[in-house]
Structure formats: structure tokens, C-alpha cells
Amino acid sequence: MAKYLSGLVDRLLHRRALTRWTAAARAAPDAELSILRAQRQRARQLRGPLQELTHIADSRLALPRIGSNAFARPAGTDWAWRPQAWRAALAKRGLAPARNKMSLGGEVTIFHDCAATEIALRQTRNQQDRDLAPFGLALEVFQFDGNFLSLVIDLPAVACVGLQKRHLIRLAAVIDAERPINVFARLNVKHGPNTEQVLLTLPQQDDDVMVEFDLAYSQMNESRVARIWVDLMFENPQMNQISIRDLTFCRYPRAAL
């Protein structure tokens, strides 16, 4: 009730102030100069905070909404997910340097064998009009003397529930890079003591990329699926900045033949 009354009072005060300044603007051509001078001073005092508020509001309201899980899902999707690093602000926003096996948030871990750690990984706020994800990850690599660099994304336990060989798992991403780079995605499904792996190359023709992992010909034991994770592997990453502006996963059954 108190919140409602406070809002009502705010609206009434705003309406009175708007009416007052509208009347002053209409009367300005004939107002006495002393009155006009005082009104100009007060208007200038108001203009600064109002312009700042408008600028900040326009900027924030134009950005993708924090927490958004909106993205395209194929027909029949029974599980879909955007990792937290692309959905919400992380408590720790970056790793510099990003050493081997360091994690950013609870779902993304960096792996590499680079001795001179000139690598940084940080969360960024997406600001492009076409962005659906509120956040992205920027991977900056300078000198690189190692043999491999990858980001490992741990899928939640619910992705394992009901997983069958008839399922396709789709990875969709929006990736920008300063220089062209080959990116590989490897799906890992741990079932009992074994791990099935499916390796695919992400297309380079466009920033928006999509691949589908087909489990039809795997040896996966459907009743023993315990963990799923995906490796994003970057080939020759030195002197490059790779921005992963979105990353989403979907699971859906293969079309019946």
C-alpha cells in the first residue's frame, strides 16, 4: 500500500511540474525578462540531470535483458540452455592471466599448455542490435607457445536425463575474431567408465554458426549417461581476440525416416 501511495504521489508531482513548465514555455515570448532569466537558470539546472538520465536509460533499455534465455529452438526441442556466462553477470568477470584449468563462473574452464601465460578471458556486455544474449566472453591471446587452447563448457545434469541415441544436440554460437581462426567443437558424453566423443568444425562463413552432434552411430549406453561437456578448441590462436557473443544448446529427436 505504501509503495502504491508513493508511486501515486510521484505521478501527481510529475504532472504538476510538467504542467508548470509547459505553461512557462508557452508564456516565454511575452514574459518579463527578470522572470524569464530565473526560469532559464532553473531549466538549465534541470537539463543536465534529465539528459544524463535519458542517455543512461536509452543505453540500458537498448541492451539485451539480463537473464534472458530467449533464442530459436527447433521443433521438438525437449531441452534448451544458455550457459550462465552468457546469461547473467558473473561475480568474477575475468581472468588475467588465464592459467590452465582456471574457471570463470561454474560452467566454463580454460585449458591450455602455454608456458608464458599471455591469455586473458573476460565477460563482456553485449551491445549490438542483433544480440540476444546479454553477455559474451572475450578470449584475448598474445604470444602463444603451446599446442592447444580450449574452453570447456559443462552442461547441466538435466541434459543427461533421458538422453538417447535418437537425439541431436545442437550448438549455436555467435563468434567474432580479429583474424580468421579455425574453431572446433567436441561433444563428450560420459557413460559409465567410457566417454563418447563427436568432433565437428564450426563454419567460418558467418558470425552465426551452428552444428549438430548426432549420437545415432555412437556406442553410448543410454542408461548410464552421467556427464556431458563440450570443448571449444581454437587452432593457432596467437595474436587474436575471439569474442563469443552467444552460446546456446538444444536437444531434440532426429526426424523419423
Rounded to an integer, what distance in angstroms lies between the CA atom of residue 138 and that of residue 240? 10
Rounded to an integer, what distance in angstroms lies between the CA atom of residue 27 and that of residue 10? 26
- Taken as a whole, the chain contains a residue count of 257
Share of the chain above pLDDT 90, in %: 59
**What's the pLDDT tens digit per position in 78-111?**
999 999 999 999 988 899 999 999 999 889 999 9
All three cell numbers of 205 = 562463413
All three cell numbers of 52 = 544524463
CATH superfamily of 79-253: Galactose-binding domain-like (2.60.120.260)
Q: What are the sequence ranges of the domains in the chain?
A: 2-62, 79-253
pLDDT band for position 18 (50/70/90)? confident
pTM: 0.76
- Alpha-carbon torsion 120, 125, 130, 133, what sign? positive
* Whole-number pLDDT of residue 246: 96
pLDDT band for position 44 (50/70/90)? confident
pLDDT at 22 over 60: yes
Residue type, 209: V
Of 25-39, 144-158, 188-202, 232-246, which gets the smallest average pLDDT? 25-39
∠ at Cα 98 (97, 103), nearest 5°? Answer: 140
Greater model confidence, 53 or 170: 170
Q: What is the mean pLDDT of residues 207-217?
A: 92
**What's the pLDDT tens digit per position in 238-255?**
999 999 999 999 999 987
All three cell numbers of 210 = 551452428
Greater model confidence, 251 or 70: 251
Terminal Cα distance for the chain, rounded: 60
